[in-house]
Structures are given as C-alpha cells and as structure tokens.
Structure 1
Amino acid sequence: MSTADLSLPLAPSDEPLATGHSSYRVTRAGRHAPCYAEPDEIAQEIAVALEYNGISHATLLATPTDLEDLALGFSFTEGIIRSARDLYDLEIAETAKGFIIQATIASACVSELKLRRRSLAGRTGCGLCGIESLDEVRRTLQPLPAPTLAYDATAIAQAAQQLRARQPLHLLTGATHAAGWSSSAGDVLYVREDVGRHNALDKLIGHLLRTSVDTTGGIAIISSRASFEMVQKAAAAGMSVLVAVSAATTYAVNMASELNVMLAGFARDDSFTVYSHPEYLNTEEVSLE
C-alpha cells in the first residue's frame, strides 16, 4: 500500500456528520510488530460559526453533535444571554467548510453581545482565543449560595466512575472529552461529548437549560483538567460541585474558592482531591500534618 492510501476517509459521504466520527484507513505499526492497515474511527473536528442577530461572533472547532445544546450553553456561559428564554430561535446550516449557527436573541442582549464580541478561531485546547484584553478574561459573577445538602464522597466517586462508562464516542475514537451531570446520589443522568473540553461542558449546560433541570443539588463531572474557565462556566450555570478527572490550576482553585464552588480533581478509582470548600463533603477531614 502506498503512502497516498494512508489517513484518507473510507467513505465520508456515506456517514452523516451527526455521528461525531468518520471511518479512515490507518496503518498500525510497532517496534516489534509488522505494519498492517485497517479501518479506524476518528473523532470529527469541524468549524462551527456562531452568529447572533446577523452578527458574526465566534468560530469554534467542535464535534458536530448536539449543536443546539452547544449554542445555548455557549451563549449562556459567555454571558450573551441571561436565560434560555433570551434565545428565540436557532437555525443550523451545513456548508462545505463547516456549520453556521444563526441565533436570534432578545434585543436587550445585543448590547452585551457587542461588549463581549470577539472574532475568534476557537481551538479545542484553548478557551481564550480572540480575547483582546485582560479585563475580558473573567466574567463578573456572584458567589453561589452554600448548598443545602452535604455531598457524600461515595456518590462523587461513583459519578466519576459512571462518566467513564458513558462516553461512547471516546470509547470509539479515544479523542473526545465528556461532561456529565449527576444527581447528588452519584447517578449520572446526562452526558455530552466533544473534542473540546469547553464545548463538552457548554453542551451539557445547554441541555440542562433547555430541559429546565435544577442545577443546585447535583454534581458536574468533566473528563479533563479543571481550568478557570471550566469553573467559571459551572458557576454561571449554578453548579456548586465540579469534579475533574485530571488536575486543577491555581486560577481555577482561586476562582472556585471565591464563587463557592467545591472543586475536586484526580477523580479516579475511589478517591479524589478537593481543592476548595471541603466543608461541602459529608465527612470529617483528618489532618495528616
């Protein structure tokens, strides 16, 4: 087989984009193994442009599934709209270069849109592309009220374990992140996947907004590291607990402390690390110092 046969879609026109993956022919190789070719599933990463009332605002690189949830969640967590009611209509058009989401929002939100307007080429690993000044990095958010219930460590560990089992696109391609919403008992109810960790969380938040799910008493779980923007999105959506599979950054920890979000990381097996507000846990902390 020639090199021209490698990494080409097998039949891209036969598979709808909504699946989130495409079949490619790849070559397996190894130090002590013979090379061989076989089909493989690759996660789709496609440009998605967002327009509000005819104003071009942002272009994201995303997996083209649950785009309605992505548009609603992004609009809300970016502060463009104040609630799902401010989003009047969505039209999604597929083009040769990607997707265009045309949103109609309340006229009262257009001024906020212009304040936060950014013409960006959003990368899957970056949530700040196109930001023009340091003042735009952080939104002004009010601290969340303290939760009325205590969270059980077993429930948090269980939710993290369930998230790993409910990522079909990741299991197929190995290239996507996930964001899940769990009850306080640790039962994962909703999961959204995307090649971008920010997009996955926006999709989840968009779904919760669209279906009017109360976010004051559950647990948000993400398959990625916990950056400040993930904390900011969770706080904007009223989520008091954010649990990450990987580590947290200093900015994320500081923001979670200020916004009254219990931030946890390294949620693997039966343990996790709490970076802020451990008092939300239904357990007594024992100092090892």
Structure 2
Amino acid sequence: MSETPLSGWSNLAVLRHAPGGTGLPATDSVAEEVPLALVYNGISQAVMMATPLDLDDFAVGFSLSERIVDQPGDIYDIELVYTPGAVGAELRLSIASDCFMRLKERRRSQAGNTGCGLCGLESLGALDLEPAAVGAADVIAKAALLRAFASLASRQPLNALTGATHAAAWVGLDGAILTVREDVGRHNALDKLIGALARGGKRPPGFAIMSSRASYELVQKAARADIGLLATISAPTALAVRMAERAGICLVGFARQHGCVVYAHAARLLAE
C-alpha cells in the first residue's frame, strides 16, 4: 500500500475512543486531497482540490465539462508531473490550437475546491447559468434507478476504506452500474465519470447517479455531457431544479431504498 500523496489515501496514526473507554492507539485510512493544476499548452488554467486517482479521466472530463475542448480528440496528450514532497501536482494537457485560442480569449483565474463551483469567478457577469439542452431522452424505470442505488455503496471501495469520498456512476437502463468514479469532491467525481465515459468510446444508454446532493454545477456538467437523467442520494438546490427544467434533464433527489423524489421532467421516470 503506497503512502505517497498520489495514492488516494494514507494510513495515519490516530487515537480511537469508544464510549466509556480510554483512547487507544490505532491506524486509520484517510482520503488524500491534493491541489491539482490543470495546465493547457503550458498555461495554468485551474487548480482543483481532488483525490489523485483516475487523473486521466479527470483531465478529460474537466476539459469537456468546462468547455475547454469540444471532444476527447482535441486532447493530444496528458502528462502528470509530480515531484515527491511537493504540495501538489500538475496535469499538463496538450490541446488543439483552436481550443487553446478560445481558452485564451475567455481565460480567467479559476481556483476551485471540493465544495464550490464558483471559486475564481471575477464577476457575476462571468457566471453561466444557461444550461445546454440535452438530446438524451431515455425513459428510466423506477425499479432500475432504485436497484442502482442499492448497489452503489458496494462499488465505492475508497469510501468504504476512508468514509470520505463521493461517487458518480453510469448505470445501464436495466439498473446495472457500469462505471464508477470516486473523489472527495462531488464535482470532481462527476468530471471523472464524464472523462471515463468519453475515453471509453461510444457511451451505452443509461443515466447517472451520485452519492451527494445536486448542486447547480452538477446539473450544468450533466447537461454539457448530454446526460438525460441525474439522480442523487440527497436533495437538490432550487437553482439546480430550475436548470434541469431548462436543460431537459430528469432530476431525481432523495433516491434511497424507500423511494425517490422527482424534481424535473417527471415523465421520464416510470413507476411500475
């Protein structure tokens, strides 16, 4: 088991207390959270706090969901640059010249963290609240949705180890989970999933589920990735619901064993 900051977790010495007892020395697995600079054609564009796993997926997914590139083929190369002992690492991407020129025209300082999608915005005018319209319109059975959530925890090995990560999963129409990505940040987890699906070629029909609440940025990223149904285990925000309505996304919250709540485009989730 690696203990470097790029292993995804570290084993740390702790003092574990039980009710009515004294603290006992123990070891606990703790998720890593490191600064990752995304550098495009030599220019640093963003610094995100993320779990350093599945970084190629993250680089591709972030680049697509932030509209830095239009398709995976616009990314020619991805290089991870990490110096042992350094505070963070760099993901250096070589991208198509037209994408890079567009990036330079709208470039802004964009420092992000695990719980905020607006960090680094210079003004309210730079905020994009108009989502892309999705073309995906698969009708999903409620049984398939609940089946997926019932098996999600068993597909989260890093969270089982550390208790600190979110998951984003792509689910087939029958409710079988096909791909899962984890990260301490829910936005990063979705970017990793988007990247993994894009790198895998043709995406199978299905929908996305997440072990988090639904913020506006998750809906925005889903819209840009043409995800027609997004379901989360916790609540959405009102802004996320309004964006889902405009984007054509079926947005589901509180998806748990007992049922779920549909907030937008309810006709696309079929009851038995």
Q: Normalization by structure 2: what TM-score? A: 0.94
Q: Measured at CA, do residues 53 and 283 of structure 1 come closer, stay the same or move farther in structure 2, by a change above 3 Å?
A: same
Q: Report deviation, 1:98.
A: 1.3
Aligned equivalents of 1:280, 1:79: Cα separation in 2 = 27
Q: Report deviation, 1:31.
A: 5.2
Secondary structure at the aligned position of 1:206 is classed as helix
Gaps of 5+ in 1: 1-11, 285-289
Partner of 1:71: 59
Question: Would you say 1:127 and 2:117 are equivalent positions?
Answer: yes
Q: Could you tell me whether the CA contact under 8 Å between 2:76 and 2:94 is conserved in 1?
A: yes
Q: Which has the larger radius of gyration?
A: 1
Number of equivalenced pairs: 270
Q: RMSD of aligned C-alpha atoms? A: 1.7
Partner of 1:104: 94
Q: Measured at CA, do residues 139 and 56 of structure 1 come closer, stay the same or move farther in structure 2, by a change above 3 Å?
A: farther
Q: Report deviation, 1:128.
A: 1.2
Q: Could you tell me whether the CA contact under 8 Å between 1:225 and 1:245 is conserved in 2?
A: yes
Partner of 2:262: 274
Question: Would you say 1:36 and 2:14 are equivalent positions?
Answer: no
Q: Normalization by structure 1: what TM-score? A: 0.89
Partner of 2:248: 260
Aligned equivalents of 1:212, 1:39: Cα separation in 2 = 41
Aligned equivalents of 1:117, 1:241: Cα separation in 2 = 31
Q: Aligned partner of 1:105: which letter? A: I
> In the TM superposition, what whole-angstrom CA distance separates every residue of 1:190-222 from its partner, at most 9, and x where no partner exists?
00001111000000000000111326x311011
> In the TM superposition, what whole-angstrom CA distance separates every residue of 1:25-77 from its partner, at most 9, and x where no partner exists?
01112552211110000000011001101111011111110111101000100
1:1-289 paired onto structure 2 within 5 Å? 15-30=3-18, 32-95=20-83, 96-138=86-128, 140-145=130-135, 147=137, 149-214=138-203, 217-283=205-271
Q: Could you tell me whether the CA contact under 8 Å between 1:154 and 1:270 is conserved in 2?
A: no
Secondary structure at the aligned position of 1:142 is classed as coil
Aligned equivalents of 2:77, 2:136: Cα separation in 1 = 34
Q: Could you tell me whether the CA contact under 8 Å between 1:79 and 1:112 is conserved in 2?
A: no
Aligned equivalents of 1:196, 1:238: Cα separation in 2 = 21
Q: Aligned partner of 2:27: which letter? A: P
User: Which stretch shows the higher mean deviation, 230-239 or 132-141?
Assistant: 132-141
Q: Aligned partner of 1:275: which letter? A: Y
Q: Aligned partner of 1:98: which letter? A: G
Partner of 1:287: none
Q: Which runs of 4+ in 1 moved over 4 A?
A: none
Aligned equivalents of 2:163, 2:90: Cα separation in 1 = 27
Gaps of 5+ in 2: none
**% identical equivalent positions:** 47
Aligned equivalents of 1:67, 1:228: Cα separation in 2 = 24
